[in-house]
Structure 1
Amino acid sequence: MNPQDLELLLVRQMPFGKHKGVIIADLPANYLGWFAREGFPKGEIGRLLTLMYELDHNNLKGLLQPLRRP
């Protein structure tokens, strides 16, 4: 993981699926869990979804709060 990925979680939108347009950091836990079971996509979006899943699963979403823009 690189530090810029944490910032990307707060600006990159989900490009497809049920939650298209939702910021990755705001995706529901059950949706992230579905990807964890079924497989994450390849590329940047998959890397970011994997990171968000790990943060959510380990109850570390609070680490993103200081990075959120007002």
Structure 2
Amino acid sequence: MKPESLQLLVTRTMPFGKYQGRLIADLPGDYLGWFARKGFPPGELGSLLALMHEIDHNGLGELLVPLRRKQGR
């Protein structure tokens, strides 16, 4: 994992679906779990969703708090 990937979680939005426009860091755990079961999309988006799933699943959301503050969120 690249450190820049964590920054992308709090700046990139979901480009499609039920949660279109929501920050990837703000996606619900059950939605991320659905992707984990069905398969993450290819490319950077899939990598970011998989990373967010791991963070959420392992209760590591606090890692993103300083990055959110940096973004003013």
Deviation per CA, 1:11-45, whole angstroms, max 9, x where unpaired?
00000111000000000001000000000000000
* 2:33 maps to amino acid: G
What residue is the counterpart of 2:43 in the other structure? 43
What residue is the counterpart of 1:7 in the other structure? 7
Q: CA deviation at 1:57?
A: 0.2
What residue is the counterpart of 1:67 in the other structure? 67
Q: Where in structure 2 are there 5+ consecutive unaligned residues?
A: none
For normalisation by structure 1, the TM-score amounts to 0.97
* 2:5 maps to amino acid: D
CA distance in 2, matches of 1:63, 1:50: 16
Aligned structure 1 segments of 4 or more residues deviating by more than 2 angstroms: none
Q: CA deviation at 1:62?
A: 0.5
Identity rate of aligned residues, in percent? 63
The alignment partner of 1:14 has SS state of coil
Query: Over aligned residues, Cα RMSD in angstroms?
Result: 0.5
CA distance in 2, matches of 1:28, 1:19: 9
Aligned residues: 70
